[in-house]
C-alpha cells in the first residue's frame, strides 16, 4: 500500500479543514514546499495536493504552489480543487501535476469529463468519490446526490478510469478512524481498481487495517500534522 500525504492549500499556505468546513481551518505551515520536501526526504513518493481556494471558486487558483513543488521535488503529484474546464486541466498538467484530481465534474458534467478522458487519457486522472451514506456528495460536500457510490465507480471503470480515492465525509479531519467497512465493500466489488482510502486516518493501526482491506493506497493528512503518525513510522510502507 502506498502512503500519499496530503497538502491542502488556502492563500498559498498549508492548512487542514475539518469535514470540509472553511470556518474550521488550521494553518500548519506557511510554506507548502517545505512540507513537501519533508515528505520526499522521508522516502514518500506521492503527494495529494488540494487547492481549497480553487474548490471554493470553481477554478484553479494555487497553481503556483503546484509549480514550485513539482519543480523542486520528484514527488508524483495529483492536484485537485476547482478543475471545471479544459483550461483548468491544461494549467494543472502544465504546472507539473502527474494526475488531475476530479470529483464534482464527473457527477455534474459527465460529457465534459469524458472529453478530458479521451484527450488526455484516463490514466492521467485520479477520480475522487466523496461519500455520505454510500451516496456521492459534491461541491465541497455541501450537496448529496442520489447516486450510489458503486454505480458511480462502475460507470467510470468502464470508461477507462483505473484509480479512484474515496472519502467518507463523516470521517474526514476528525481523526476517528477511516471507513474500513465501506472500503472493504468497494474493494470486493472492484478488485482490479487502484483504490485509495481517504479520510479519518489517525494511527498506524488504521493504515494496517486499510492495507488488510485491500486498499492500494491511503491519503494521510491531519494525522501527520497533529503528530499522531510520524514520517519515521511511515517508512514501513516505503
Catalytic residue chosen out of the listed positions 8, 53, 168, 209: 8
In angstroms, the Cα distances linking 102 to 72, 113, 205, 228, 229 are 24, 9, 29, 28, 27
Is residue 168 annotated as a catalytic residue, yes or no?
Answer: no
Q: Is 181 a catalytic residue?
A: no
Q: From CA 224, how far away is CA 73, in angstroms rounded?
A: 19
Cβ–Cβ under 8 Å, residues 73 and 37: yes
Count CB-CB contacts under 10 A for residue 27.
Answer: 11
Question: Who's near 139: CB < 8 A, 6+ residues apart?
Answer: 104
Find the catalytic residue in 130, 168, 172, 209: 130
Instruction: Look up residue 86 and give its DSSP letter.
Output: H
Helix (H, G, I), strand (E, B) or coil at 142: coil
Q: Which cell goes with 222?
A: 491531519
* Cα–Cα distance for residue pair 115/188, rounded to 1 Å: 29
- Residue whose C-alpha is closest to residue 186's, from 144, 110, 131, 141: 131
Cite the DSSP H helix spans in 73-191: 86-94, 104-108, 110-120, 149-158, 180-189
List active site positions.
8, 130
Amino acid at each position: 500500500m502506498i502512503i500519499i500525504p496530503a497538502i491542502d492549500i488556502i492563500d498559498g499556505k498549508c492548512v487542514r479543514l475539518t469535514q470540509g468546513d472553511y470556518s474550521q481551518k488550521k494553518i500548519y505551515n506557511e510554506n507548502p514546499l517545505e512540507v513537501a520536501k519533508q515528505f520526499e526526504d522521508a522516502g514518500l513518493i506521492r503527494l495529494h495536493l488540494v487547492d481549497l481556494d480553487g474548490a471554493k471558486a470553481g477554478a484553479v487558483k494555487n497553481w503556483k504552489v503546484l509549480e514550485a513543488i513539482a519543480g523542486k521535488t520528484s514527488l508524483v503529484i495529483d492536484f485537485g480543487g476547482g478543475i471545471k474546464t479544459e483550461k483548468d486541466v491544461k494549467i494543472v498538467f502544465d504546472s507539473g501535476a502527474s494526475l488531475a484530481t476530479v470529483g464534482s465534474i464527473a457527477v455534474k458534467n459527465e460529457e465534459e469529463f469524458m472529453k478530458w478522458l479521451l484527450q488526455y487519457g484516463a490514466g492521467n486522472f485520479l477520480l475522487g468519490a466523496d461519500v455520505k451514506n454510500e451516496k456521492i456528495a459534491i461541491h465541497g460536500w455541501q450537496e448529496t446526490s442520489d447516486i450510489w457510490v458503486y454505480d458511480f465507480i462502475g460507470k467510470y471503470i468502464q470508461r477507462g478510469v483505473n484509480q479512484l480515492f474515496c472519502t467518507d465525509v463523516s470521517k474526514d479531519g476528525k481523526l476517528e478512524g477511516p471507513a474500513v467497512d465501506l472500503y472493504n465493500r468497494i474493494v470486493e466489488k472492484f478488485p482490479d481498481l487502484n483504490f485509495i482510502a481517504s479520510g479519518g486516518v489517525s494511527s498506524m493501526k488504521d493504515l494496517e487495517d486499510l492495507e488488510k482491506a485491500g486498499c492500494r493506497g491511503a491519503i494521510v493528512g491531519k494525522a501527520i500534522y497533529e503528530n499522531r503518525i510520524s514520517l519515521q513510522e511511515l517508512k514501513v510502507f516505503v
